[in-house]
Structure 1
Amino acid sequence: MQDCCRRPRGGDRPGADVAVGTLYRHFDNARSPMALTLDRLLTAGAAAGTIRDGVRGRTVLRALGGISGMRATEGRREDAVRITVLPYDGLRYGAEAAA
């Protein structure tokens, strides 16, 4: 079995590791074009001086994935707003136009 199929989420169910591994490969295929698109947007923003340089699309995509994985439960809305602002402020920090 490939390493990508050895995920703890599969549990003890027969075949669960294989199914989860397949799911991860599927999303990897989708993530790559999104990360490349984000790279282009980030490069353009850095060239315009509106966001800082040196941030990769894959990093932003992972941050957005973490934010989107938050559970929408009572009292979490304020947390979600504050957490969403962090990457936005982080991208602007040190940018020429933001100074």
Structure 2
Amino acid sequence: MAKNFRVCAKESSNQSISLQLFGDFDASSACELINVLDESVKKTSKVAIDTDGLKTINAFGLDVFLPRMSWLNNTRGDIEVTGRFSGVFSVE
């Protein structure tokens, strides 16, 4: 677990979970978020990720995270990224 990264999960309803990200997003943070997402999509099909609490985003962290998020989004759930860094988390 990255010392300077935190994920807060809140179940909004039986069908959705909200994840708030805080701190610095790097490769270690990406792995942590992937694990949280894997567990979240087992419980519900809709996951909202709020990026407003992030301070910095490392390009390698995105390289680790985006392919897995894309796969989860296409096969197991609906993942929506919001907040000031939502653009960098968009999968083309």
TM-score norm. by structure 1 comes to 0.25
Instruction: Give the number of the structure whose residues are more often strand, by fraction.
Output: 2
Structure 1 or 2, whichever has the larger Rg, is 1
> Greater relative contact order (Cα 8 A, min sep 6): structure 1 or 2?
2
Instruction: Give the number of the structure whose residues are more often helix, by fraction.
Output: 1
TM-score norm. by structure 2 comes to 0.26
